[in-house]
Amino acid sequence: MAEEQLDRLTAALADRYAVQRELGSGGMATVYLAEGLRHERTVPLQVLRSELTVVFGAERTTGTGLP
């Protein structure tokens, strides 16, 4: 399941970030290590759990419209 989520995230953000690996997860979100392609910087990406995006709205929480 986690591998599938990483694959979906990598595909969705491929034009902006090169997602490298999962750093950790908690009750509300999972944090990934990524390389920002525009500025060539290492950045953390925090992705809320899908059940929370339903509450808050996917576009508002992720900026991409993905759950």
DSSP assignment of 21-64 equals: EEEEE-SSEEEEEEEETTTTEEEEEEEE-HHHHHHH-HHHHHSS
Residue 64 pLDDT:
54
Q: Is residue 67 part of a domain?
A: no
Q: How many domains does the chain have?
A: 1
Q: Is residue 11 part of a domain?
A: yes
Domain that holds residue 19: 2-62
> pLDDT tens digits for 15-58?
999 999 999 999 888 999 999 999 999 999 998 887 776 666 65
- Summarize the confidence of residues 2-22 as an average pLDDT: 89
